[in-house]
Structure 1
Amino acid sequence: MTEPDNAPAPDGAAALTTPPVPVLDTPRGGMPPIVDTPHALDETLTRLREGSGPIGIDTERASGFRYSQRAYLVQLYREDAGTFIVDPVAFDGLSPIAEATRGIEHIFHAASQDLPCLKDAGYLPDTIFDTELAGRLLGYEKVGLGSMVEKLLGVHLRKAYSAVDWSTRPLPREWITYAALDVQLLPELRRILREQLIEAGKQRIAREEFDAVLASEPKAPRSEPWRRLSGIHALRKPRQLAIARALWQARDDYARVTDIAPGRVIPDAAIVAAAREEPHSIEELRALRAFTGRASRAEMSRWWHAISEAQNAPVPSLAAPHQDGSFPPVKAWEHKNPDAFCRLHAAREDIAQVSERTHIPAENLLSPRLLRELAWQGVAAEGLRAALSDGGARPWQIELIAPVVAGAFERAGASVPAE
């Protein structure tokens, strides 16, 4: 019988140490070439059609370096076909790959991060498997690709290049190695997770979740994105907020045109510092040591123009709106709507119990925002299933969670009767 991991070492024997996990640092089949010519793309499409099984796919962007969220690299792997490192910059969209792979399942890790830039390039798979989401539904505590590969496949993936500037050309050899290794393990990881989903009776749940991710639409732009400036809470006066808003907009306009990440143009801290000081001349702005950033000095006249306009305009009313648009922050509920506060906390407690029983995170059982909406409105039991469906809940969530939420609202004793 195999002893449990925490069993003491036998008498007279030295305690055994866990052998190191082997590091995977060489792509299967050698270093794949970059696909960046029409001829290379045609060959890639032919080989993908001739391969077998699902396609592992990943993308690399230049978040933190570029303004756009476009894909700067797309990696594909299919058994009996090989690994392909596609440079999207070299092509006018990726629709030829989409057409060549119609009907073939694509394996992502955290598909919600990759699908938007693929959709923008005209590449939308018909069906997907998400290994990160599968890990969540199975109750894994760590669902990063490196953690799951190490736990389930017994190898270690280096993640040193996950946050580099993928718009760099030419790409360093070690970056290409990293990109290739990320997708080559996805088919085997999928096979294991699929078996575990079937064993746990969660295959239908996973399919509904994968389909929902694939069909999801981009979030509507925030009405006032400048309010997400880090440190903006330090600005109290309306004029300071007006300066911060003007500088944010000027920075965003410049970043969009130059395709540089806004934080690299001038950081949030510099905007907040300038707004707090309310400089009265370009010289005062230039003397402000906290006003830093790549373009803080080169574009000084641009920033001063924005500040000057904000200072000379009538003082606007810039009271912060409710975070969710239809109800205040939860911390204010106990005083503004005590009944909703009781409903929310009762439902959270009961959903937490379901989470513990099913080994599915509470946020995957039901969207926290949707729960807040239901609690604030006090939806009655007979209208709960329709409200959940209208809010985007999947059928499995409605079946499992509707009676739980209804019971919690009833226990809270403040459900609003249906109209």
Structure 2
Amino acid sequence: MATDDDAAMPPPIPTADTFTHFQDTLFSRVVATVKTAGAIAASDVSFQRSSDPAFNEGLDEVSARILGLANQLLHAAARGSSDIATPARMRDVDDVENGWGEVVEVVDYLLEKAVSWVSTPAALTAMISALEKCTEIAVDLEHHDTRSYIGFTCLIQISSRDQDWIVDALALRGELQALNAVFADGRIVKVLHGAYMDIRWLQRDFGVYVVGLFDTHYAAKALGFPGLGLAYLLKKYVGFDADKQYQLADWRIRPLTKEMFDYARSDTHFLLYIFDHLRNELIARSDPSNPSEDRLQRVLQDSRETALKRYERESYDAATGLGAAGWFNMVARDNLTPLQLALFKAVHQWRDNAAREADESTHYTLSRRQLFGIARQAPTDVETLLKVCVPTSHVVKERAKELVELVKSVIENPPDETVAPAAQEASAPEMELEPAPVATVPIIKTDIFAPAATAAASIQAHKSAFWGPVAGISSRWETGAVAASISLAVELPPLTAAVWVTPGEKEKAREAVVVVDPGARVEHQYIKGAAAQRKKEDDIIVVKALGGARKRKMPDDEAAPATADAEAEVPAAAVGESKEGSASGEEKEEQEEDAVALEPSRKREKREKKELRREKRRLAAAGGAGAAGDSGSGDAEKPREFQAFDYSKAPPVFNGHKDKGRWRDKKPGQQQQFDPYAKSGDAPRGMSRGQKERAGKSHTFKQ
């Protein structure tokens, strides 16, 4: 039977063999304690304390033991790190509430310490054993190619739901092929972001292949996010700001700095959490019945195609310059002379060979700007070369004389000036297309108004002269009955009446010519008979515009032909009498009626009559009968009289009243004055002084 002394004794310290059992037992008891505390908190603890003294004493004793255990754990965790302060000892509920921030800081530190640095084969084996039990893992790589010709992988970051691993790829370069046990297992989902290059680096450096890839870059793209980078996803779902200044850091450094270590870990630490959110959004916004709207399937397909990519190193092609490391893409948009282009190609090839021998990156050896500087300036001495290549790499410094001699050799043997530009030299050979057969159509002279059937058959072709025998496009090239008429491609000029006149009719027309006034319109002898019929066809019906008293007026360019036709209807005898001034009043009235019949408006008809009578009276009074006869034709029109508006005598706009009798004393024939303020009083009135806006209730809607 256990005594009080046995209960007060601390539990034995677990050994390495019993630690797993001790951890499981402790975890189960902590869960039970939390459940009991939650059940007690739901009830009225204060009432139980006051009604049951034994319950009150037991609760205080258990609370003191829990606080003591929590203080020991917090102090032990804080002593292991210099980054966090040791929290104050908690004695009651108030201390727990006031010092909760310090407790959270220690707990976060303990969770962040769940990361392992893998640099030995034993640690690698333990990591692989733990990863084989997972259903999804997050993977990322840190690559270095700034000071290497090809580049190599320095770090591999792997995270599960419970732990993070950072693998030293430099120390375990020959051992990492064992990762295929996890990476090639299709039952384990590998979550990567932007895995296009990671897939190639794993194949090139370690012979590791990825099966079961989920690329979060494609997920962000399918969901239409404004940002597709990992930094955007970290900020969106976690609120974590990634410091991208270490993205191009020198990952060969050992040991890693704390900042570089935290950056490498953050790339995969939150990636599975982001994967959960992206997967849920893809499922919610996908329609499996509609392939075009199945976003999840699209992301899986894109990820599958990325995982199937194979690493293949492209060889350097100095002749064409094609490929990722070639010179073609660099000079395609620059206008270089043939000599400059030859220098650029020679120096570009020298850079590739020198960087390969020194195991340096081509950009570090000679940058793009330095390549174009050498091609344009063509330095022939070391001093000028070093001024162009600033900053200067150690490769250029050590082999400067060699590079200068190369430039001199290109200058001494210049290329042919007729060489095509680089874009034409490096273009892929064009396919030689077999020219389409051209159908020769014979030129046959025939009557265009009544072509014979044989002539039409010889002109018509059964296939296109440009496209060849293209079937099913147009019936023009199909074999069939030949039409009797051929549609002309060029429009003919309009035919006149003189075309149909015989030589005999022309002689009669010359004899019947009557000498008339040069100012009058000459009557065409061959279309005189059609005047009456055209008069009826040219009649214009004027319709009043809706909603107004004015009538539509015909433009002058439309009214002129009608007037000319009316003048042509006047007999020659009448024209002569009018010229002599001996026409009677009845004949003049008939001429006026014929001319007015074609006017588009009754108002214009009245005005013409008044002006004609006024002109006749004036000429009769002056004794100019001949002049009155000339004016009787109605060709001249008296200009309208307008009276300028006097702004100084105009009434006020806002408070003035309209003068209704203002035009009562106007002279006959005088146009009404234009008043710019005539309609100013018709504008809507503003709010009266009695209607003011009041605070509170609105008067817009009345109940």
Query: What count of residue pairs does the alignment treat as equivalent?
Result: 299
What does the per-residue CA deviation read over 1:156-199, in whole Å, with 9 as the maximum and x for residues that have no partner?
33323112112233322221111011101111111111111111
CA contact (8 A) 1:26 1:181 kept: no
Residues 302, 46 of structure 1: alpha-carbon distance in 2 compared, 3 angstrom cutoff? farther
Residues 227, 142 of structure 1: alpha-carbon distance in 2 compared, 3 angstrom cutoff? same
Letter in 2 for 1:245: K
1:172 counterpart (228, 245, 257): 257
* Mapped pair 1:267 → 2:360: no
What is the match of residue 109 of structure 1? Answer: 193
Letter in 2 for 1:206: V
* Mapped pair 1:44 → 2:122: no
Per-residue deviation at 1:70?
A: 2.2
What is the match of residue 412 of structure 1? Answer: none
* Mapped pair 1:84 → 2:173: no
What is the match of residue 499 of structure 2? Answer: none
What does the per-residue CA deviation read over 1:212-255, in whole Å, with 9 as the maximum and x for residues that have no partner?
111134578475112344x7855522221121112122222222
Per-residue deviation at 1:304?
A: 2.1
Residues 313, 72 of structure 1: alpha-carbon distance in 2 compared, 3 angstrom cutoff? farther
Per-residue deviation at 1:273?
A: 1.1
Letter in 2 for 1:99: A
CA contact (8 A) 1:235 1:272 kept: no
Structure of larger gyration radius? 2
What is the match of residue 30 of structure 1? Answer: 113
Q: Any gaps of 5 or more consecutive residues in structure 1?
A: 1-24, 328-419
What is the match of residue 293 of structure 1? Answer: 392
Residues 318, 66 of structure 1: alpha-carbon distance in 2 compared, 3 angstrom cutoff? farther
* Mapped pair 1:255 → 2:325: no
Paired with 2:332 and 2:298, the residues of 1 have a C-alpha distance of 41
What is the match of residue 203 of structure 2? Answer: 119
What is the match of residue 327 of structure 2? Answer: 226
Per-residue deviation at 1:129?
A: 0.6
CA contact (8 A) 1:270 1:292 kept: no
* Mapped pair 1:57 → 2:131: no
What is the match of residue 302 of structure 1? Answer: 402
Letter in 1 for 2:423: P
Per-residue deviation at 1:131?
A: 0.8
What is the match of residue 153 of structure 1? Answer: 238
Residues 253, 290 of structure 1: alpha-carbon distance in 2 compared, 3 angstrom cutoff? closer
CA contact (8 A) 2:355 2:365 kept: yes
CA contact (8 A) 1:105 1:127 kept: yes
3-state DSSP of counterpart to 1:129: strand
Residues 277, 110 of structure 1: alpha-carbon distance in 2 compared, 3 angstrom cutoff? same
Letter in 2 for 1:141: P
- TM-score computed with the length of structure 2 as normaliser: 0.39
What does the per-residue CA deviation read over 1:340-392, in whole Å, with 9 as the maximum and x for residues that have no partner?
xxxxxxxxxxxxxxxxxxxxxxxxxxxxxxxxxxxxxxxxxxxxxxxxxxxxx
Letter in 2 for 1:319: P
Higher RCO structure (Cα 8 Å, ≥6 apart): 1
**Identity %, equivalent residues:** 24
Per-residue deviation at 1:257?
A: 2.8
3-state DSSP of counterpart to 1:71: strand
3-state DSSP of counterpart to 1:133: helix
Paired with 2:268 and 2:261, the residues of 1 have a C-alpha distance of 12
3-state DSSP of counterpart to 2:422: coil
CA contact (8 A) 2:380 2:404 kept: no
Letter in 1 for 2:167: V
Paired with 1:108 and 1:49, the residues of 2 have a C-alpha distance of 18
What is the match of residue 579 of structure 2? Answer: none
Aligned pairs (5 A) from 1:15-26: none
What does the per-residue CA deviation read over 1:261-286, in whole Å, with 9 as the maximum and x for residues that have no partner?
22222222122111111233445434
What is the match of residue 223 of structure 2? Answer: 138
3-state DSSP of counterpart to 1:79: coil
* Mapped pair 1:209 → 2:272: no
Paired with 1:139 and 1:45, the residues of 2 have a C-alpha distance of 36
Per-residue deviation at 1:259?
A: 2.6
What does the per-residue CA deviation read over 1:90-121, in whole Å, with 9 as the maximum and x for residues that have no partner?
22262201124422211001111311101112
CA contact (8 A) 1:250 1:302 kept: no
CA contact (8 A) 1:115 1:214 kept: yes
Q: Greater shift after overlay, 129-138 or 171-180?
A: 171-180
- TM-score computed with the length of structure 1 as normaliser: 0.64
Q: Any gaps of 5 or more consecutive residues in structure 2?
A: 1-107, 287-294, 431-703
* Mapped pair 1:245 → 2:345: yes
What is the match of residue 182 of structure 1? Answer: 267
What does the per-residue CA deviation read over 1:272-312, in whole Å, with 9 as the maximum and x for residues that have no partner?
111111233445434x4455421332321232243244334
Q: Greater shift after overlay, 308-317 or 250-259?
A: 308-317
Aligned pairs (5 A) from 1:398-409: none
Residues 257, 47 of structure 1: alpha-carbon distance in 2 compared, 3 angstrom cutoff? farther
CA contact (8 A) 1:158 1:178 kept: yes
CA contact (8 A) 2:332 2:422 kept: no
Paired with 1:321 and 1:220, the residues of 2 have a C-alpha distance of 24
Q: Greater shift after overlay, 242-251 or 318-327?
A: 318-327
CA contact (8 A) 1:235 1:275 kept: no
